[in-house]
Amino acid sequence: MKISPKLSSALKSETAMRAVQVGAAAIAIGLIFWRLQFSTDAICCGDFDGYYHAKWSRLLWEGLRNRTFPPIFTWLPLTTLNPNDYVDHHFLFHIFQIPFTFRDPRLGVKIASTIFASVAILSCYWLLVHHRIRYVMVWLVALLACSAPFLYRLNMAKAPPFAIIYLIAGIYFLFKKKYWLLGPLAFVFTLTYDMFVLLILAVFIWVAVIGWTERRFEWRPIVWVLAGTAAGFIINPYFPKNLHLFYQHVKMKVVLSDFSTKVGGEWDPYSSWEFIGNSLVACVAMLVGYIAFDPADRKRANHPLFFLLFSTALMIMTARWKRIAEYWPPFAVMFSAFALQPWLVGARSALTGLPPDLRDELQPFLDRKEPGPEPIAEDRTELVRIVVAAAIAVLLGVVLAFNLRKTADDIKGSQPHDYYRAGAEWMRAHVSPSEIIFNTEWDDFPRLFYYDTTHKYISGLDPTYLYDRDQALSKLYDRITLGEEEDPGPLIRNRFGARYVFTDNRDNHHEKFYFNATESGWFEIIYEDTECTILHILDKKVESPLELPESGVINDDEAPLPDEEPPRNEQP
């Protein structure tokens, strides 16, 4: 089919305009995330997991260079992440991070996080531009203003930005009905992050939508996504151990099982007011989408109906688990955009809500064109729409400014990059290599691992890993660290095989443990600063309670070293 020069010129002009829109959005998004990411000098933020991801990416590169790939993970021997059972369920994410860890891993990972988060938001915006959503710049502001926790969590040096990118790619393939591309996408997603289950959910929702709008069962996307997921599990350096770890994740966090160990706070639910206050724009977007969605318009309902079902599912998950806040808000905005689109382009009027037989009777009158200043009326309508859109953009801009300030302050409140560095480097220099360190807080492990890879640790990354390997040992660990065992020294030495204890000084969470340890006669303080304390378990109990020197800090030259390797049980 031959395209006229006029039409060809119009298409080129539209393509150029889209490129300009996406390019401008990329610059704005990148500047925002750069500002947020560098609100702290640490690897962002909140928890310390980014330090584990940065260090492990670096170790993967060293393994590649030394032809020992993947390297053996030896740092949590008492957990399900012991050397025989370790699974890297962020495998491709760590591979993607490798180029950023060559010189300064801290700076490199922060740059990588800025890029990954920016591309995630930009992919959502690109989908709106591609589908010619009207007033797309307003929707860009809405995407950025949708939720403060969303902005915060997207700045973490973790894999969720890739999950968003993959989901947008999957939705594009579904809408274009290029189902075979779901196979390689699911394969890559499964190797990158275990939230690939969201892509499977999206596919099943799309099949249900096609069944409703087109009255047929579309089986191909199901086959392709399941085949790609299976390939991701099987063509994997950790197969078949990865199947067991995935099962454990589902059992302990998705299924409401009765486990006594406490997982991270990100798996707790939001309170009602916290849920609304943190994601006000996303909540309003959902409400607008529900009102604007017209199920009677079956021919045009497949895209908005998909977003209705998918974003609703994510909203329910977010209400149950805080961590889904890194997924739901942008999809809520996209749902509102797709649901409003028919109204914004004038495809509907009040008459579309009339019964079909009445519309048929009125059709001759609707088709009749009466003389009159129709273009002027249309121009006025469009002008009103532009004014309303501008007003909404201003309101969203105010919310965005508030969210950016709040998020920047929260990120700025993160512990600085050198937190625990002095204590960890002291252990590396003064404690014999391969010793097991009893860390009293499981979430301190990533920073200890980042600064000191010469030692092993008791619990880290997730407390369920210790619980799954040995429930009795996990419960004992909880009792000791919470101060419920009055004489913890022999238990730590005999049951955990550790002669050194690393405990944090940042709160009173382990104050009772510290009191029991110092009063028991089994411990001596060999290092202390404002951030942490390192204790050594003596061979024999002393009668007098432990007393600190006046300075409260032990001199390096006075710190004792173990005369011999203490007996320990590698597998209690």
Question: For the packed helices 280-292 and 136-145, what is the interaxial angle rounded to 10 degrees?
Answer: 140
Check: CB of residue 443 under 8 Å from CB of residue 507.
no
Residue 310 sits in the same domain as residue 199: yes
What the block records as the tokens of 452 is 């000191």
Residues ≥6 apart with Cβ < 8 Å to 382? none
What the block records as the tokens of 356 is 């079909």
Amino acid at 471: Q
Span 411-463, pLDDT tens digits: 999 899 999 999 999 999 999 998 999 999 999 999 999 999 999 999 999 99
Choose the final residue of a domain: 285, 319, 344.
344
What the block records as the tokens of 244 is 């067991």
Span 508-562, pLDDT tens digits: 778 899 999 999 999 999 999 999 999 999 988 887 555 544 434 444 444 444 4
Choose the final residue of a domain: 304, 320, 344.
344
The CATH number of the domain where 494 resides is what?
Answer: 3.40.50
In a domain, 31, yes or no: no
Tracing tokens 């691992």 back to the chain, one arrives at 449
What the block records as the tokens of 69 is 């790939």
Check: CB of residue 463 under 8 Å from CB of residue 469.
no
* Structural domain boundaries, residue 307: 133-344
Check: CB of residue 447 under 8 Å from CB of residue 441.
no
Residue 304 sits in the same domain as residue 425: no
Residue 148 sits in the same domain as residue 249: yes
- What is the count of structural domains for the chain? 2
Check: CB of residue 526 under 8 Å from CB of residue 549.
no
In a domain, 566, yes or no: no
What the block records as the tokens of 183 is 């196979």
Residue 450 sits in the same domain as residue 339: no
Residue 167 sits in the same domain as residue 316: yes
Q: If you count them, how many residues does the chain have?
A: 572
Residue 320 sits in the same domain as residue 196: yes
At residue 424's C-alpha, the angle toward residues 504 and 427, to 5°, is 110
DSSP letter (8 states) at residue 353: G
Q: With the C-alpha atoms ordered 318, 323, 326, 327, is the resulting torsion angle positive or negative? A: negative
In a domain, 308, yes or no: yes
* φ, ψ (nearest 5 deg) of residue 447: -70, -40
In a domain, 433, yes or no: yes
Residue 184 sits in the same domain as residue 331: yes
Residue 282 sits in the same domain as residue 158: yes
Residue 438 sits in the same domain as residue 331: no
Residue 338 sits in the same domain as residue 425: no
> What pTM, to 2 d.p., does this model score?
0.86
In a domain, 193, yes or no: yes
What the block records as the tokens of 134 is 């009207």
Choose the final residue of a domain: 327, 344, 361.
344
In a domain, 227, yes or no: yes
In a domain, 223, yes or no: yes
Q: What is the pLDDT along the chain (572 residues), one digit of tens a residue?
A: 566 666 566 667 778 888 888 999 999 999 999 999 999 999 988 789 999 999 999 999 999 999 999 999 999 999 999 999 999 999 999 999 999 999 899 999 999 999 999 999 999 999 999 999 999 999 999 999 999 999 999 999 999 999 999 999 999 999 999 999 999 999 999 999 989 999 999 999 999 999 998 889 999 999 999 999 999 999 999 999 999 888 887 776 665 444 444 555 566 677 777 788 888 999 999 999 999 998 877 777 899 999 999 999 999 998 888 778 889 999 999 999 999 998 888 644 444 444 455 445 444 444 444 454 556 666 677 788 888 889 999 999 999 999 999 999 999 998 999 999 999 999 999 999 989 999 999 999 999 999 999 999 999 999 999 998 999 999 999 999 999 999 999 999 999 999 999 999 876 778 899 999 999 999 999 999 999 999 999 988 887 555 544 434 444 444 444 444 444 333 33
In a domain, 172, yes or no: yes
